[in-house]
Chains A and B, each alone.
Chain A
Amino acid sequence: NTAMAAQMTDAHRRFLQVLMSHGIMEGSEARKLHRRCCEIHKVYYAHDKLDDFISIINSHLQPLFMQIRKGVSEGDGRAHYALVNLAETEITKMASDYTENELELFRKTMDLIILSENGFASSTDILNLADQLKTKKMKKKEAEQVLKVFVEDKWLSEKNGEYTLHTRCIIEMEQYILSNYQDVARKCNICHSLAIQSQICESCGIAMHLPCVRKYFRAQTEPRCPQCNDVWSCDIP
């Protein structure tokens, strides 16, 4: 396994530091960064070898139960890279960063999002959870602030007063969500990854990511469900 034998260079370390400070990076940003890091530290660069470059970093992160993982955004369908914890027992990275009741608010928000039809929870619904927290109640004003921080820290993203899980959160917590929300969490019928936002077949109930729907139905004149063959009732994005 050549990746194991390969050493980290300062190019790899710089890439890792920058990725870490962003939390998550879009594919083209990551490729630009790869090039810059190799240029700065005069390390061999091949433009289509980003994944190999990352594998080397990952081989050194593995003993630390960390990994640079690639995931696809549910919004634009683009590939993103994020540094994640491999321990799936708890929301590890968040646990060091937030207080008990903030974590509880997050978990309850995540419940609302995953149980929802469209993968979004309204601001009102989330704020109503604030004074029912078991660890320590929160006033609505405080909860609003905490939500803002979750968005800044890229655990949640907000659109028109509604909140869903940020791509970074999904990449990091996919395993945790699939195991802890086993019966409720949906998987995309096309790519088989966790689907928070999705379109659902009215007849048979299978789910698909919006970018996956777009790709799958691109060629078809009459969109039909891949599972039950009924007409696909949702608008194709």
Chain B
Amino acid sequence: MSQRKRSRGSGFSQGDDGDEDFNLSQMPTHSQVQRNLERRSQDQVNQKVSELVQFLLVKDQKKIPIKRADILKKVIREYKDVYSEIINRAGRILQQVFGLQLVEIDTKHHIYILTSDLPRAEGENLHQDNQTAKLGLLIVILSFIFMKGNSAKDSAVWEFLRRLRVQPGERHEVFGDVKKLVTEEFVRQKYLEITPIPLTDPPEFNYQWGPRAAKETSKRDVLRFVAKVQGKDPTFWMSQYTEAEA
């Protein structure tokens, strides 16, 4: 296994792209893949499928989005020529056995996440305690962004959090380095997207939902959450309600 930065505490830039990735012109066609399959033993291909399933599960438990380049380098290796078959089978197994869907959230850089096919159950503690608290904070931020019209300036987000006694400068009892959690970990996990606003000095940033947030929750859920917290009906916020129900 090569040296690979852990998700904890070692950010990698948002501008990561698949340098080592498959060149589109190199991708075998479906019929080529079928021919290549015949050259390999069933057992060997099945073994690769299992390895890929395990690899995807482990990565996803940490909420680390999975890059195709990593899949090819660490799991597929010399079976590149039947890659599409392996990943399709892995996807089917994930669905049939685990109820998980393999979703490509970035079709340009080929990045995947796993989402659950099963509806989230009320009161279900799916995550470990540390994770649950972080997700709580995340939902609050996502709600704020949605209620602000799907995009909010960093100053607004942090002012909002300050009112909840979550401050970037201080070490938070539960979240630790909050600034890092929000601007690095949540971004890396594709829950948030933070982009610089051009021509601002000092630099300002725009906070939006990341592709994983869009896949794992919905505007409707988030609006319901806000409504519940404020003790109002979701229709109180007509424009958000319309958008959420669309």
Contact = CB atoms under 8 A, between A and B. Distances in A.
Contact of A17 (B9, B53, B126): B126
A180 interface: no
Interface in A45-68: 57, 60-61, 63-66
B54 A92 contact: yes
B116 interface: yes
B61 A21 contact: yes
A97 B127 contact: no
Interface of B: 1-6, 8-9, 46, 50, 53-55, 57-59, 61-62, 74, 93, 96-100, 116-118, 121, 124-128, 130
Contacts of B98: 13, 16-17, 20
A99 B50 contact: no
Contact of A99 (B3, B117, B125): B3
Contacts of B126: 17-18, 21
Given A60-B96, A63-B50, A99-B4, 4 more contacts: A8-B96, A10-B99, A16-B99, A64-B97
A89 interface: no
- The 9 lowest CB-CB distance pairs between A and B, nearest first, are A13-B99, A96-B58, A64-B50, A60-B97, A21-B126, A95-B1, A14-B118, A99-B3, A40-B121
Nearest to A61: B97
Interface string A1-34: 0000000101001101110111100000000000
A149 interface: yes
A21 B128 contact: yes
A21 B58 contact: no
A85 interface: yes
A64 B50 CA distance: 5
Contact of B130 (A36, A95, A152): A152
B58 A93 contact: yes
A66 to B, nearest CB: 7
Given A96-B54, A145-B9, A149-B8, A17 B46 contact: no
Interface in A128-152: 136, 145, 149, 152
Contacts of A38: none
A57 B1 CA distance: 30
A21 B127 contact: yes
B84 to A, nearest CB: 20
A85 B99 CA distance: 19
B99 A14 contact: yes
A13 B97 CA distance: 6
Contacts of A136: 3
Contacts of B2: 100
Nearest to B90: A64
A40 B125 CA distance: 14
Contacts of B117: 13
Nearest to B114: A17
Contacts of A22: 128
A60 B96 CA distance: 9
Given A36-B121, A40-B121, A93 B128 contact: no
Contacts of B62: 97
7 contacts: A10-B118, A13-B98, A13-B117, A14-B118, A20-B61, A40-B121, A99-B3
Contacts of A112: none
Most chain B beta-carbon neighbours within 10 Å: one of A23, A40, A97: A97
Most B CB atoms within 10 A — which of A18, A22, A64, A145?
A64
